[in-house]
Amino acid sequence: MPTTKALLFGRRRDRAVGLVVGFAGVVALALVAAFVAESVGATTATALTDRLLPLLVFYAPGPLAAAGAYARCGGPACLAVGVVPALVLGGFVLLGTLVGVPGVNGGNPAIGDVTVSFAAIGVTSAFVGYCAGVTAVLAADVLGFGSADSDE
């Protein structure tokens, strides 16, 4: 029961907060760097926009949620990792529109659809990763090399 409760609700709140906030910081930093590089015409803009951002938005939530489940951060924190890219993108567009940053167009109605799509993809990926992490924890506990008795 302690393992199940730790997997569902989390036992390590500081790690859970660090997981979500840290990932949000990385996504925000990559988004700002890609925007700045694209604005100044740097050659790294292509690498950032074509490789790093899709990696963070589409592929990273699953493995991060699996790692969070294995570290017993809890289901809510692991699923929140999936929503982080959409929230960061939406916040970036909202802030850029309010401040009046050229090249950031929040008046486009498609940006809401893109944000919702990012959230749906991210939450789906995070859910699959969370399930994989829970499976890994339970398998490790059954095989005897898990940390079910550890309260760390």
Annotate 19-65 with DSSP letters as a single string.
HHHHHHHHHHHHHHHHHHHHHHT-THHHHIIIIIHHIIIIISHHHHH
What's the pLDDT at 11? 72
In this structure, what token pair is assigned to residue 71? 């570290």
Q: Is the pLDDT of residue 2 over 90?
A: no
pLDDT at 104: 66
Residues 107-135: tens digit of each pLDDT = 666 777 888 888 899 999 999 999 999 89
Interval 22-32: pLDDT, tens: 999 999 998 88
What angle (nearest 5°) sits at the alpha carbon of residue 123, between those of residues 140 and 129? 20
Answer for the pair 69, 9: CB distance below 8 angstroms, yes or no: no
For the chain, the domains span 8-143
Q: Which residue has the higher pLDDT, 44 or 87?
A: 87
Contact criterion met (CB below 8 Å) for 8 and 15: no
Hey, is 148 helix, strand or coil?
Answer: coil
Averaged pLDDT for residues 39-51 = 75
Output the pLDDT for position 152: 46
**Alpha carbons 25 and 55: distance in angstroms, whole number:** 15
Q: Which pLDDT does position 140 carry in this prediction?
A: 84
The rounded distance, in Å, linking the Cα atoms of 52 and 49 is 6
Q: 75 vs 48, which has greater pLDDT?
A: 75
